[in-house]
Amino acid sequence: MIILTGEDLNLDDIIAVARHKEKVKIADSAKKKIKQAREHVDRLVKKGEVVYGITTGFGKFSDKKISPGEVLKLQENLIKSHAVGTGDALSLEVVRAMILLRINNLAKGHSGIRLKVINKLVELLNNNVVPWVPEQGSVGASGDLVPLAHIVLVIMGEGKAYYKGELLAGDEALEKADIKKIDLVSKEGLALINGTQMMAALGSIALYDSRKLMEYADYAVALSLEGLNGITSAFDGDIHKLRPHPGQIKSAEVVRNLTKGSNLAVYEHENRVQDSYTLRCAPQVHGASRDAVNHVKDIINREINSVTDNPLLFPEKDKVISGGNFHGQPLALGLDYLAMAVSEVGNISERRVARLVDGSLNNGLEMFLTPHGGLNSGYMIAQYTAASIVAENKVLANPASTDSIPTSANQEDHVSMGSISGRKLRDIVENVETVLAIELIVAAQAVDLRTDSPLKDLGKGSKIIYKTIREKIDKLKEDRILYPEVEEMKNIIKKGVISKKIKNL
């Protein structure tokens, strides 16, 4: 059970709820703040004060005062009019993360929503009722209005939702899960959809998976060093102390430890003094991406415990402020940065694959790593697939945050496009996972062709990597269908199988 205070949600909590269906509960301390903020809204409505989104319209209509009799209809209209999403549906884990992040935002007690409404979101998560949310429509300010509106439709008995593997009408999904629909009152519609939870959900999950990819990138370069009979002096700690970027130092240390004791990847060669950049500069490239991951982690950690709707209530000061915390720029820039960082890991990995399969570059191994070239193509086409993927990533890595198209008749005249940054990052992470899977498979084949005794000649960590691959994927002796093996290797990465074994070294 994850207890939500609005103050201390972390990445592991998000994955536990989004991916592993952990249940959630609102902390008592948060309930008190939620109730105080709601009482503040009720006082404002009773006084008839003009407050954006409470007694006025939205966006360009902020100058239109809404009569007390129309306040409830205003909330219903807001949700229905904003549910204009299109395109493929977001994954169930992303939508679950969005709901979790929205609850945590509201739990901070500055939004003015009733506790019973937030509890409806809790019920969705704890009963695994997952709204159907199209992925296109958000411009990243005033937050992720469109996708969040599709979530809110369901607690109103509208829209569509998944329940027990079936896509149902919203009211039917609620009925099957024994959840009662709810009507929204003043301020609640805006409190539910004005925020950055789509881009934060996409970013959080991609960040979590990116951290794993940084580990596997170093595992891949270690095994490639073994297969290419590489030179490990480029990973010597003394070099990296002179340029003390933390990620660079860490990557060099990881590869150094993995190849320790190797007879294949050696400190120096008599007839070759240095390797190509894809090996020699791996700590610098991987390390820069590691540092980017850590930088974006700081951004995400702040964002997931922030208040991002508008207007914000300060009951203890009897103050309501209309501002711009819903603007997604901090996330948009961070997610674009992370997309470039992860993409680069794929770029250098594909170049190592190309070197491994090229008989003129792989230091004496067969062309395409097949003993019977011509009759067999070996791993020729595996490199094609990697090349195709990294070419796609180069398009996806172009930042979305550098563009802005004004909305709401120029009332909202600069937007972040952060949801697009998040979607592109999600795709890049998946793509790089595939490229690293290909490199690990190809590197294991190179090791088999390099030595008849891999378990004797490999470094202490490289041996674990090699053995884990060979438990699922056999040495390639003649051509066979390879795509199931790439998927198998991706599953090894997704489940963190090698990481768990390496940590036991």
What is the rounded average pLDDT of the residues 237-252?
98
pLDDT for the residue numbered 60: 66
pLDDT for the residue numbered 59: 67
Phi, psi of 57, deg, nearest 5: -75, -170
The answer, yes or no, to whether residue 135 has pLDDT greater than 70, is yes
| Dihedral over Cα of 442, 447, 452, 455: its sign | negative
The answer, yes or no, to whether residue 103 has pLDDT greater than 80, is yes
Residue 210: pLDDT band (50, 70, 90) is very high
Inter-residue contact 122 to 115 (CB < 8 Å): no
Count of CB atoms within 10 A of residue 75's CB?
Answer: 23
For strands 2-4 and 24-26, give the pairing. Answer: parallel
What's the whole-number average pLDDT of the chain?
A: 95
What pLDDT digit, counting tens, does each position of 257-266 carry?
Answer: 999 999 999 9
Six-digit token pair at 430? 């998946």
d(CA 425, CA 331): 12
Q: Provide the Cα torsion 17, 22, 27, 31; round to 10°.
A: 70
Residue 71: pLDDT band (50, 70, 90) is confident
d(CA 494, CA 65): 52
Quickly list H helices, 83-144: 92-106, 115-126
What pLDDT digit, counting tens, does each position of 144-167 carry?
Answer: 999 999 999 999 999 999 999 999
The answer, yes or no, to whether residue 22 has pLDDT greater than 90, is yes
pLDDT for the residue numbered 253: 98
What pLDDT digit, counting tens, does each position of 430-470 carry?
Answer: 999 999 999 999 999 999 999 999 999 999 999 999 999 99
Residue bearing tokens 């073994």: 226
Residue 475: pLDDT band (50, 70, 90) is very high
d(CA 282, CA 83): 46
Residue 58: pLDDT band (50, 70, 90) is low
What pLDDT digit, counting tens, does each position of 358-386 carry?
Answer: 999 999 999 999 989 999 999 999 999 99
The answer, yes or no, to whether residue 67 has pLDDT greater than 90, is no
d(CA 408, CA 405): 10
What pLDDT digit, counting tens, does each position of 329-353 carry?
Answer: 999 999 999 999 999 999 999 999 9
What is the rounded average pLDDT of the residues 480-487?
98
What pLDDT digit, counting tens, does each position of 305-338 carry?
Answer: 999 999 999 999 999 999 999 999 999 999 999 9
Inter-residue contact 79 to 150 (CB < 8 Å): no
Quickly list H helices, 228-303: 237-241, 246-258, 277-280, 282-303
Domains and their CATH numbers in the chain: 2-195 (1.10.275.10), 203-503 (1.20.200.10)
Residue 504: pLDDT band (50, 70, 90) is confident
Q: Give the catalytic positions in this structure.
A: 52
pLDDT for the residue numbered 48: 77
pLDDT for the residue numbered 55: 72
Residue 73: pLDDT band (50, 70, 90) is confident
Question: To which H or E segment does residue 438 belong?
Answer: helix 418-450
What pLDDT digit, counting tens, does each position of 167-189 carry?
Answer: 999 999 999 999 999 999 988 99
Q: Which residues pair with 166 in a beta bridge?
A: 163
Residue 45: pLDDT band (50, 70, 90) is confident
Percent with pLDDT over 90 in the chain? 89
